[in-house]
Amino acid sequence: MTNTEVVLAMYEEFFNGHDVNAALKYVKEDYIQHNPGPGQGRANLMSAFGEKFRTNPDFHLNIQFTIAEDDKVAVYLKAIDPRGNTTCRVVDLYRLEDGKLAEHWDVLQGVGK
């Protein structure tokens, strides 16, 4: 798989499929997280999003586009509610290593009401 394909599979299975075990396939154990919320490492990512999926079963991300260069993939996406309304815009940046997500940064933009 290309780096972009790995990232897109992670979004489909983990984030939109709510399958936290998909991280075992796509995320390195020592995953570096630059967003202070989930904590460091794959286990913390799985735990944080497992809770998010339990409290927000309608959680869904619509990928708008990706940009890839060398070992980096950027993803521009929109979080949407069940009616298809955008609730947040996000740019996720990943560094991949050995075919797995190794490092993550993000920028979030809330949507005004």
CATH number at residue 9: 3.10.450.50
Structural domain span for residue 27:
3-110
Q: What's the per-residue H, E or C state across 13-36?
A: HHHHCCCHHHHHHHEEEEEEECCC
Mean pLDDT (the chain, rounded): 95
Count structural domains, the chain.
1
Query: Token pair for residue 85?
Result: 């309304």
Q: What is the pLDDT of residues 60-96, one digit of tens each?
A: 999 999 999 999 999 999 999 999 899 999 999 999 9
Which pTM was predicted? Answer: 0.90
The pLDDT, as a whole number, for residue 112 is: 65
Q: What is the pLDDT of residues 90-102, one digit of tens each?
A: 999 999 999 999 9
